[in-house]
Structure 1
Amino acid sequence: MSKHGGKTNEPNQPQIPAGGWGSVKEVTTILLKEHVPLEGTQLLVQQNKPDGFMCVSCSWAKPAHPHPAEFCESGAKATAWEITSKRLDPTFFKRHTLRELEGWNDHELEEAGRLTVPMRYDGALDRYVEISWDRAFAEIGAELRKMDPKQVAFYSSGRASLETSYMFQLLARMYGNNNLPDSSNMCHESTSVALPKTIGVPIGTVVLDDFEQTDCIFFFGQNVGVNSPRMLHQLQEARKRGVPIVTFNPLRERGLVSFVNPQSPVEMLSGHETVISTQYHQVKAGGDVAALTGLCKAVLEADERARATGGPRALDIAFIDEHCHGFDAFAAAMRARTWDEIEKESGLTQGQIEQAAGTYLRAKQVMGIYGMGLTQHRNGVLNVQMLVNFLLLRGNIGKPGAGICPVRGHSNVQGQRTVGITEKPELAPLDKLKELYGFEPPRDKGMNTVEMCESIKAGKLQGLVSLGGNLVRAVPDHDQMDAAWRAIPLTVQIATKLNRSHLVHGRTAYLLPCLGRIEIDRQAGGEQSVSMEDSTGCMHGSRGRAEPAADTLLSEPAIVAGLAKATLDPNPKVDWDAWVADYAKVRDAIAATYPEIFHDFDERMWQPGGFRKPVAAAQRKWNTPTGKANFTVPDTLSADPDMPVPEDALRLFTVRSDGQFNTTIYSLEDRFRGVQDRKVLFMAGADMARLGLADGDIVTATTAVDDGVVRKVEDLRVVEYSIPAGCVAGYFPECNPLIPLWHYAKESKVPAAKSIAIRVDRTDGTGRPLH
């Protein structure tokens, strides 16, 4: 890496930094594109402020003392996207059949504007037609009452507030199931499984203050420049203090290479870039277990040398003896691994790994930050456990400036879990719900997202109520799932904009438009506020500031209440109308259900920086069966041992662009990777030569597994890129048809989207192979 902004001579790879004038231009462009330049600018200064509205995209922490502009490029795009002046009223659907709209791409569908009225699908017309709210609720309730509750799912995206999420889980459980799949099932469920077993909490231990005290940061599989750009402020400040940042990631992501702070006039005028990663190791996709094994092995070898010479120990023996369980077995397993097998599996040399370990050994307070690059593998749970092992070796959990930091990608996906959105009955306060509301909650396990898809594929699911999201595009096995989706007897979509899941619908389908979080929510009790939890476990209030897109919209709590009243028998202990009139009453209910976390909820939610829920591991209290932090012994060096890559194939991992938030595509170009469209495969030059491909060739990608199903994506353009040999990258969700539904993380069932064996064949542009 060059000391001048981290620039390297990489094939077809732009050398622009994250932030800078490029970010300013992108924000200006989308505000103009959505016809909200003045309103959008006024709203952005209130984004992520203690008395403003919380960003609708990423869930990165909100500081107590925010910057003047406490928003990033991605957050500004999300805001402009929601407050757009464009509208989809009933006349739009009179002009377009759903079959016609299926020909539009994802960007075009959402770009069309905000939904304004409730609608029901008319099969004879192949159109959505307007329906009144009362009639929609009555009809949906009548359908749900006829169904087997065990065969109905209540899905939620990470957008919903704590108040809405609590009401939604109560609706599902009073209806009779724990079928509460959510977007966490698609991304960080591996975290929620791994961390309780190792350190006794389901979330990370790091808060913003730790960034000010750390003296070393390790990054694994997280693209900060796209998924959580506001974190770049903390990273830049750490780098200015001389804190080393060591990155393990298959692609050289621009946000982890260099950054120009758009809020610094000096940097903007001078073009001065801050080098973010002081070491950048391009680990192979699926090579994280091996890389972390190498790091742990290097630390143990350094400790053996220290013992032999009488020097200071490399291990924090006092911490291990007092706080850890299983160290001896883990250490023996690490020593038994050879450097040859570690190098082969990780794609890194012993020297590279030892260089990173040396940086770790020189530090006293180390943070481990990671994203879906660790969680979305067959051994995603093990990946997270290996990072915990690495941190435990030197006592880097439960002290200032150190800890583990999973970065959640959706605005309130972590908070939804906190208030009961879970398919696992043992994680929900069922006895408390029984006491408060006088009903018998279901005790059997519900469906997670993969299990829901399996039920849909088998023709068993009778109904799906979806609180936000674009499930049809987000789930694996697109082509296999589409036909099955259309056979679901009932689908209900609560949404702000049109997306693919509204076009690929059930036999009876409803589209219920809701207020967005940024909009003023006026109810009988006055203007309402909501709350959400950030990635560090802090709760924040949020006040809508924009006028609603239409006076016909209902809030998410009002829609959930409308569905509940139409579906459930009356319950004198649940006054849905009172909850909708005053969301503070919902917060009182949340506090009654979770008093340890949410006591004095309504007052504390406006505390600058939020209030944090208890995280025992941060105080070195381990709520595990052993009463200690547990080392995990890996049984493999591969994150994906169950999908081997044939010699003539490559290992695909999916990525997102700078013009994207989850399945929402703001623009087709990706300026950080230098492409103007999303139907591309990023490939190493050596692999292109081996396969007889040239930059720009059109190819078909086919999943290289023999399970009787042909999975392929056609018309992909090859782009030569700096990527480990044997690996190839493509965009989510365009490459989702290549992911088998059965290829998911053990224990957590997160789709293993970061490691898929594929074959790539050159075509003539019409899908026909060239031999």
Structure 2
Amino acid sequence: MTEPKIEAYIDPAGGWGSAKSLAKYLVRERIPASGAALLNKQNKPDGYMCVSCAWAKPAKPHLFEYCENGAKATLWEQTAKRVGPDFFDSHTVTELLGWPDHDLEEKGRLTHPLRYDRGTDKYVPVEWAEAFAEIGRELQALRAENPRAAVFYASGRASLETSYMYALFARMYGNNNLPDSSNMCHETTSVALPQSIGVPVGTVLLDDFEQTDLILFFGQNVGSNAPRMLHQLQEARKRGVPIITFNPLRERGLERFINPQNPIEMLTNASTEISTQYHQVKAGGDLAAITGMCKALIAADREAGAEGRPRILDHRFLAEHTHGLAEFVAFCDAQDWARLESRSGLTREAMEAAAAVYARATSVIGIYGMGLTQHRKGVETVNMLVSLLLLRGNIGKAGAGICPVRGHSNVQGQRTVGIAEKPELVPLDRLAEQYGFEPPREKGMNTVEACEGVISGEVKAFVGLGGNFIRAVPDTTRMEQAWRRLRLTVQVSTKLNRSHLVHGEIAYILPCLGRIEIDEQSTGPQAVSMEDSTACFHGSRGFTRPVSEHVRSEPWIVAELAKATLPPNPKVDWDGWVADYARIRDAIEATYPKLFKDFNKRLFEPGGFRKPLAARERKWETETGKANFIVPEGLEADPDMASDRRDVLDLITIRSNDQFNTTVYGYDDRFRGVEGTRMVLFMNGSDIERLGLEDGGEVDLATEAKDGHRREVAGLRVVKYDIPAGNCAGYYPELNVLVPLWHHDEQAHTPAAKSIPVRIRRPAELPAHD
């Protein structure tokens, strides 16, 4: 970590800044020239799927089909650095608990299976057979007592093949406790979209970006979280397509972009303007802003009808395909403009200006991220965006649709093949017939419920398939205290992280192959598959040698866990599946025949093969048989957390340019001008002045929640930033400690991490207790 420096960044996203950052990482991770060449296989039809975000792989890729963050993810995985038994000989777990997250992962790849030794407070090497034997004994004993006391978490990075096996393992164990990273980000989407249009995922394909004539962009920082999408956005802008952005912070990737693959742009520093309108909504203000646009459209449509001009709304579509329009119109009509302005943070003129552009467009894409999903009323906000699109028939036609931007590379796909706590989402009867067992029918635990179970003592064992669960979840302090009371924790991982150090009584680290490594089994090198954000399935092959002879593939590890835990089942050939992953894909196709027809034959189809989605064809698999207008309860996205105290601000947790989810690649956030630290708090200048603070001064934060628990973070540096008054922002996961576990979406249970009421004080001014 260098001496912290805060300095405004004036360059566009991409360009030389991106190129220089990658060059630095190649050197730092000791990647040879051949490693740089490896990037040319990333996201190619015959290559490997990026290990970070889930943005789509085009059928005709660019020469370099990777972004800065995707390349960092590859270099982070393919580092020459290693964490073997000698490392743990030198460091106790207690010592390592004091290390920052970045420093733990930066040490390199795990090379041996490890078991925690309480006597020495160290992880020690263990043979695979010995590890599986003890894990199996513990899980068997717990299963006999209460199978619901074990949780099987998946991070969203594991392949379709591994995810299918893992979900089957959990159900044969006896529960549906299959929380995943989707519970923490886009579960809101998975709940909202089936209500409104009858599918749990977005309807937009890459082809739609070539045909759209307007893009609406809500609550997603494309420059840091899905930079490859900037190709589609830039190409749309060069065709004259407007992009209207709603986002609290001014984000560089949503302002200007230089394509690093374009020599002319690189040489001339010629950037493309991305957003043609940029509306800085308040935290949680999207619900009111979209309502304002709908209200303006409805009024303009009435006026056009009265004057004999062409109507604004698509009345033919509305009559044939939708339900609930009258109630929705009544809700919009009833909203007062002053209230809409106050809650959204936008003027009436701004909302009407956005609506006017929308009214002229014929094919519109609505893109959104966690700025919409991570609120108490996130489901209602997503449904309001769908309603805006429905008003002009922008679902189920070329160049239009709803486009949630997923995070982890296979978080959407693992849900497709059974990683779900909701039994109604899984063909349990088919699984029962296929494998000769009775699957559990009781709802399992989602992420928040699993955390509640850990705190209450109901959960006694945790198996983690990837990820850094203890850092990703809310209420960090309470969770870490409770976590240590678990009987068993098992982590399948590539790198060391905090979830290994905050462990149960019996704890194992099982090192796995990375996706980019050659997975050699008895029938030869294996391929795996993923589903991208546009619901297309892709194959992926490894190209590099494994980091160690002691690491194993995820399918092998899952199979061995299942064999050690479950009684033999002649209908489940775990060893046969591991020998040939094509047999797993045959099993997936047998379970989901409509989704995976000819799975193995289509595995490496350029651009992926598409999951059938009824809403794309304007077939609505909803209770009404139509697309539904769903009326929200009000305009507040976080109504129960509102405060009129002048010293309380709404905190938004954000990612830096130098991280992916909980993985922190470095201490810089180039686009926001932060270097050498992550302990910052971005604030509006008027709030800094009003609260008697100083730009560059130090403050502490405390959550404004009267539930008997103290949630504080000390030592944050104030940074004056372009953010709405009344809001502030800081980095995830460091500020997860401030998110109460119960502060989640009412329907989806997604943590409401984009609007957390906090009190800001100089360090000496914080009260001793809430």
What TM-score do you get using the length of structure 2 for normalisation?
A: 0.98
Contact 1:13 1:722 in 2 (8 A): no
Cross-structure match for 2:214: 216
Residue 13 of structure 1 deviates from its aligned partner by 3.8
Cross-structure match for 1:716: 716
Residue 307 of structure 1 deviates from its aligned partner by 1.3
**SS of the residue aligned with 1:488?**
coil
**SS of the residue aligned with 1:434?**
helix
Asked if 1:733 is matched to 2:733, the reply is yes
Render the CA deviation track for 1:446-488: whole Å, top value 9, x for unaligned. 0000000000011221100000010110000001111100110
Render the CA deviation track for 1:369-389: whole Å, top value 9, x for unaligned. 000110000001011000000
Query: 1:291-310 counterparts in 2 under 5 A?
Result: 291-310=289-308
Asked if 1:440 is matched to 2:438, the reply is yes
Cross-structure match for 2:638: 640
Render the CA deviation track for 1:50-105: whole Å, top value 9, x for unaligned. 00000000000000000010000000000000010000010100000001001110
**SS of the residue aligned with 1:511?**
strand
Render the CA deviation track for 1:663-694: whole Å, top value 9, x for unaligned. 00000110100112110100000000110001
Render the CA deviation track for 1:142-165: whole Å, top value 9, x for unaligned. 000000211100000011000000
Cross-structure match for 1:744: 744
CA distance in 2, matches of 1:359, 1:707: 45
Asked if 1:389 is matched to 2:372, the reply is no
Cross-structure match for 2:650: 651
Q: Which residue identity does 1:24 align to in structure 2?
A: A
CA distance in 2, matches of 1:702, 1:684: 18
Q: Which residue identity does 2:382 align to in structure 1?
A: V
CA distance in 2, matches of 1:666, 1:723: 25
Cross-structure match for 1:63: 58
Residue 628 of structure 1 deviates from its aligned partner by 0.3
Residue 40 of structure 1 deviates from its aligned partner by 2.0
Q: Between 643-652 and 472-481, report the one with greater CA deviation.
A: 643-652
| Residue of 486, 489, 497 corresponding to 2:487 | 489
Contact 1:538 1:613 in 2 (8 A): yes
Q: Which residue identity does 2:538 align to in structure 1?
A: H
| Residue of 71, 79, 84 corresponding to 1:76 | 71
Cross-structure match for 2:223: 225
Contact 1:110 1:499 in 2 (8 A): yes
Asked if 1:477 is matched to 2:475, the reply is yes
CA distance in 2, matches of 1:486, 1:458: 13
CA distance in 2, matches of 1:647, 1:426: 46
Cross-structure match for 1:206: 204
CA distance in 2, matches of 1:196, 1:16: 41
Residue 37 of structure 1 deviates from its aligned partner by 3.5
CA distance in 1, matches of 2:525, 2:114: 26
Asked if 1:26 is matched to 2:21, the reply is yes
Cross-structure match for 1:702: 702
Q: Which residue identity does 2:256 align to in structure 1?
A: S
Cross-structure match for 2:81: 86
| Residue of 37, 48, 54 corresponding to 1:53 | 48
CA distance in 2, matches of 1:12, 1:307: 53
Cross-structure match for 1:260: 258
Contact 1:251 1:723 in 2 (8 A): yes
CA distance in 2, matches of 1:634, 1:37: 55
CA distance in 2, matches of 1:37, 1:323: 57
Query: 1:552-591 counterparts in 2 under 5 A?
Result: 552-591=550-589
**SS of the residue aligned with 2:562?**
helix
Asked if 1:338 is matched to 2:336, the reply is yes
| Residue of 484, 505, 511 corresponding to 1:507 | 505
Cross-structure match for 2:423: 425
CA distance in 1, matches of 2:424, 2:409: 25
Cross-structure match for 2:3: none
Residue 728 of structure 1 deviates from its aligned partner by 0.3
**SS of the residue aligned with 1:213?**
coil
CA distance in 2, matches of 1:12, 1:246: 28
CA distance in 2, matches of 1:89, 1:388: 50
Q: Which residue identity does 1:713 align to in structure 2?
A: V
Superposed CA RMSD:
1.0
Cross-structure match for 1:517: 515
Q: Which residue identity does 1:534 align to in structure 2?
A: D
Cross-structure match for 1:6: none
Report the number of matched residues: 758
Asked if 1:686 is matched to 2:702, the reply is no
CA distance in 1, matches of 2:54, 2:652: 23
CA distance in 2, matches of 1:733, 1:476: 9
Q: Which residue identity does 1:749 align to in structure 2?
A: H
Residue 12 of structure 1 deviates from its aligned partner by 5.6
Contact 1:12 1:721 in 2 (8 A): no
Q: Between 737-746 and 33-42, report the one with greater CA deviation.
A: 33-42
Q: Which residue identity does 1:654 align to in structure 2?
A: T
| Residue of 116, 119, 128 corresponding to 2:123 | 128
Cross-structure match for 1:164: 162
CA distance in 1, matches of 2:727, 2:573: 55
Regions of 4+ moved over 6 Å: 766-769
**SS of the residue aligned with 2:509?**
strand
CA distance in 2, matches of 1:499, 1:627: 47
Q: Which residue identity does 1:141 align to in structure 2?
A: G
CA distance in 2, matches of 1:248, 1:553: 45
Gaps of 5+ in 1: 1-10
Residue 647 of structure 1 deviates from its aligned partner by 2.7
Cross-structure match for 1:7: none
Cross-structure match for 1:117: 112
Asked if 1:661 is matched to 2:660, the reply is yes
Q: Which residue identity does 2:16 align to in structure 1?
A: W
Render the CA deviation track for 1:157-197: whole Å, top value 9, x for unaligned. 01100000000000000000000000000000000000001
CA distance in 2, matches of 1:629, 1:295: 20
Contact 1:540 1:609 in 2 (8 A): yes
Q: Between 28-37 and 752-761, report the one with greater CA deviation.
A: 28-37
Render the CA deviation track for 1:625-658: whole Å, top value 9, x for unaligned. 1000000111110111011123320000100011
Residue 434 of structure 1 deviates from its aligned partner by 0.3
CA distance in 2, matches of 1:763, 1:641: 29
Residue 442 of structure 1 deviates from its aligned partner by 0.3
What TM-score do you get using the length of structure 1 for normalisation?
A: 0.98
Residue 710 of structure 1 deviates from its aligned partner by 1.0
Q: Which residue identity does 2:17 align to in structure 1?
A: G
Residues 44 and 727 (structure 1), Cα distance of their counterparts in 2 relative to 1, 3 Å cut: same
Q: Which residue identity does 1:741 align to in structure 2?
A: L
Residue 599 of structure 1 deviates from its aligned partner by 1.3
Contact 1:288 1:638 in 2 (8 A): no
**SS of the residue aligned with 2:526?**
strand
Contact 1:743 1:752 in 2 (8 A): yes
Render the CA deviation track for 1:477-525: whole Å, top value 9, x for unaligned. 0011111001100000000000000000111100000000000000011
Q: Which residue identity does 2:655 align to in structure 1?
A: R
Percentage of pairs with the same residue = 65
Contact 1:220 1:374 in 2 (8 A): yes
CA distance in 2, matches of 1:568, 1:256: 50
Gaps of 5+ in 2: 1-5
CA distance in 2, matches of 1:729, 1:100: 30
